[in-house]
Amino acid sequence: MKNNMGVWIDGSKAVIVNLANDSVIQVQADIDNNVHHGYEGDKGTFIGGGRHVNNEKTFAERKKHQTDHYIKNVISEIKTADRIFVFGPSEMKHHLKKEIEGDRVLGTKLSAVETSDKMTEKQIVAAVKKHFTPVKI
């Protein structure tokens, strides 16, 4: 039996369904979405020499690193897949798609990328099974 996997992903978690062993795991995202944290209204900081540090730029850089780390954690869980189906409600699925396509091993295993709504774990499992079930005529 092929090792088919489905990944439902958004900005807070990824639900990975492995049909080969009927397992479901979750990978939590640790992505900070607060721009100003404890100093609301602070638009930056002046540091030595009159230089201005913009907190929004720092936030964007931190969020990028956190997103990259999250995607790499998901990739590490699907390395053994023969075929991969990616779906979810947010843009995070496109980040994952880009990372899969850039991987020498996984790049050829991407089956489809689709937009879907928020789903329960049972709905996610059903969607993955439906995707990989051949259509009978």
1 pLDDT band, cuts 50/70/90, is: low
Quote the pLDDT of residue 48.
54
32 pLDDT band, cuts 50/70/90, is: confident
Query: Which of these, 73, 62, 69, lies nearest to 14 by C-alpha position?
Result: 73
- Asked whether residue 34 carries a pLDDT value surpassing 50, the answer given is yes
Between 128 and 37, whose confidence is greater?
A: 128
Q: Are strands 45-47 and 51-53 parallel, antiparallel or unpaired?
A: antiparallel
Quote the pLDDT of residue 136.
74
Quote the pLDDT of residue 50.
54
Report how far residue 87's alpha carbon sits from residue 118's, in angstroms, rounded to the nearest whole number: 10
- Asked whether residue 134 carries a pLDDT value surpassing 70, the answer given is yes
Residue pair 5/17 in contact by the 8 Å Cβ criterion: yes
- Asked whether residue 41 carries a pLDDT value surpassing 80, the answer given is no
Report how far residue 125's alpha carbon sits from residue 107's, in angstroms, rounded to the nearest whole number: 23
Report how far residue 121's alpha carbon sits from residue 90's, in angstroms, rounded to the nearest whole number: 17
Residue pair 36/45 in contact by the 8 Å Cβ criterion: no
pLDDT tens for residues 44-101?
A: 554 555 555 566 777 788 889 999 999 999 999 999 999 999 999 989 999 999 999 9
Report how far residue 100's alpha carbon sits from residue 56's, in angstroms, rounded to the nearest whole number: 29
DSSP annotation string for the chain: ---EEEEEE-SSEEEEEETTTTEEEEEE------SSTTSTT---EEEGGGEEE-HHHHHHHHHHHHHHHHHHHHHHHSTT-SEEEEEESSTHHHHHHHHHHTSTTTTT-EEEEEE-----HHHHHHHHHHHHSPPP-
- Please give the CATH superfamily to which domain 4-32+41-132 belongs: eRF1 domain 2 (3.30.420.60)
Quote the pLDDT of residue 37.
47
The residue ranges of every structural domain in the chain are 4-32+41-132
